[in-house]
Amino acid sequence: MLSVKIELLEALTQALEKLLPGGAAKAAFESPKVAAHGDLATTAAMQLAKPLKQNPRQLAEHLRAELLASAPFQRWVDAVDIAGPGFINIKLKPQAKQQIVREVLSQAGQFGNQAASGRRLMVEFVSANPTGPLHLGHARQAALGDAICSLFQTQGWQVFREFYYNDAGVQIATLAQCTQLRAKGVHPGDAGWPESAYNGDYIAEIAADFLAGKTVKADDREVTASGNTDDLDAVREFAVAYLRHEQDLDLQAFAVKFDNYYLESSLYTSGRVEAAVKSMQASGKTYEHDGALWLKSTDYGDDKDRVMRKGDGTYTYFVPDVAYHISKWERGFGKVVNIQGTDHHGTIARVRAGLQAANVGIPPGYPDYVLHTMVRVVRGGEEVKISKRAGSYVTLRDLIEWTSKDAVRFFLLSRKPDTEYTFDVDLAIAKNNDNPVYYVQYAHARICSVLAAWREKEGGDAATLGQAELAPLQSPQALALMLLLARYPEMLSAAAQDFAPHDVTFYLRELAACYHSYYDAERILVDDPIVKRARLALVAATAQVLQNGLTVLGVSAPQKM
């Protein structure tokens, strides 16, 4: 049906250009708000009525006649109707909708994907400081970031996943101090234990392994403990490596892989922070006041100017962020997306202001941000707030162990990022239609079982279904299912453009429901071989699209459940 739509769109383009030079720019189809009105709609007549100085409904009638006279409309369209002030509703012939089955089966895992465009995208996400296990905020970032990367990959982008973390600063110093104290036998609550300390059991585990002289290996480092509790630098180095390893295990359990780990410390050692500051100073966008260096961020829409360098000579946290994003730009990433918690909202204006003040050619609005809220966890009807190992919060690995990787991913992606979300553990493990991931996966497994039964009984070959005669697919349920399959590529494109993987979850739930309705309405393994093969082709195409969508989300498509 995608090829059909392209033909129809070309006919509409030609008709609009004939009506008004440049009118082809208004050629577009949308889905009617009421399905009974048709399969496609266009508002082009209303858009061109004013420049043509014509009544929009009369113009729609004229455009209708032009479209019906075209070969593509005669071949694929059953009716073209005018509604309201000039809406044009188009009802397709069944054979037009049936084409989508062949397209899905021929393209298989590539259905919905665009050709490589050469465009490059970096997505930075998770970016957890190595001071503890990954919490549910990191989990939501991991699900969002990975799914957004996959969405852009379907649109032909070359995508690069990056993890940025602070391997210095106050938090790392606190981690080292806590580990050193635990290694020396000091416990939380004892005299000398810091108020701002990390109190989870994992600190004791790090200290024990440090004393035992163990070696830890993370994706980006390997460290052997010296066991010398008086060497704070050695304790710090081992603790950071230990927690980086732990975070790697969390990410492996969640099936997330990064292309690069970027150290905040490297921005200082490489001179990037100083270079960024000098660039902002050279552009005349800084000034000294009360012993501090300020950025004129109000020149770029911020609500007040921001301190860059404090009186003690240290930089505020947005300055290395500016240097980091200049690095991204210089590495050739013209589009960058940062996945962060809503508590980072205040940094957006000042980072963008700093990038403009640096005057290195970065366009306004760079980078893009996707901000997410935290996640509440409910188990047994009660909110769960504490993990014994982490000390003060539920970890990503807790949630995976209680449910599954698939459930965590699907659930965390099932709402817009900036909306509050409550993760119901009991629902996530329920094997019923109230569990959305189970509902979608069951639809796929149900189709696989039908195909397996056909292969076992008749020796059928699913690879031949692409040549099936599709004329029998005429029922309302079959036509609705095919129309929904045809929406998949457009849904993917829109979801990528809007950074909205939740749209994929909504679509998959709708597709699963549409399939279940079709399955309940028509037997598939009927006696008539032509009807049977047509219906098998349709459900095989449905399984393929379900699998493709689940793959974008990082969720499996089981063949049995």
Residues contacting 24, CB < 8 A, separation 6+: 13, 14, 16, 17
With H, G, I as helix, E, B as strand and everything else as coil, classify residue 394.
coil
pLDDT given for residue 389 in this prediction: 54
Residues contacting 415, CB < 8 A, separation 6+: 421, 502
pLDDT given for residue 392 in this prediction: 67
Identify the domain boundary among 372, 394, 419: 372
pLDDT given for residue 187 in this prediction: 92
Q: What is the mean pLDDT of each run of 10 residues along the chain (561 residues)?
A: 88 93 92 86 94 93 95 95 93 95 97 96 94 90 98 98 86 93 94 87 94 91 95 95 92 95 92 97 96 96 94 93 97 97 92 97 97 94 73 85 97 96 96 97 97 93 93 96 96 98 98 97 96 98 98 97 90
Q: How far apart are CA 314 and CA 310, in angstroms?
A: 6
Q: How far apart are CA 306 and CA 315, in angstroms?
A: 11
Residue 211 one-letter amino acid: L
Identify the domain boundary among 75, 92, 109: 92
Residues contacting 548, CB < 8 A, separation 6+: 109, 111, 112, 488
Are residues 315 and 273 in contact, defined by beta-carbon separation less than 8 angstroms?
A: yes
Residue 393 lies in a domain: no
With H, G, I as helix, E, B as strand and everything else as coil, classify residue 521.
helix
Domain range for 134 is 120-165+261-372
Residue 523 lies in a domain: yes
Co-location of 445 and 548 in the same domain: yes
Co-location of 335 and 212 in the same domain: no
Domain CATH number, residue 76: 3.30.1360.70
Domain CATH number, residue 473: 1.10.730.10
Co-location of 488 and 523 in the same domain: yes
pLDDT given for residue 129 in this prediction: 86
Residue 405 lies in a domain: no
Co-location of 157 and 222 in the same domain: no
Total number of domains in the chain: 4
269 token code pair: 């050692």
Bond from prior residue into 194 cis (ω within 30 degrees of 0):
no
Residue 157 lies in a domain: yes
Are residues 70 and 452 in contact, defined by beta-carbon separation less than 8 angstroms?
A: no
Are residues 242 and 225 in contact, defined by beta-carbon separation less than 8 angstroms?
A: no
Q: How far apart are CA 375 and CA 393, in angstroms?
A: 11
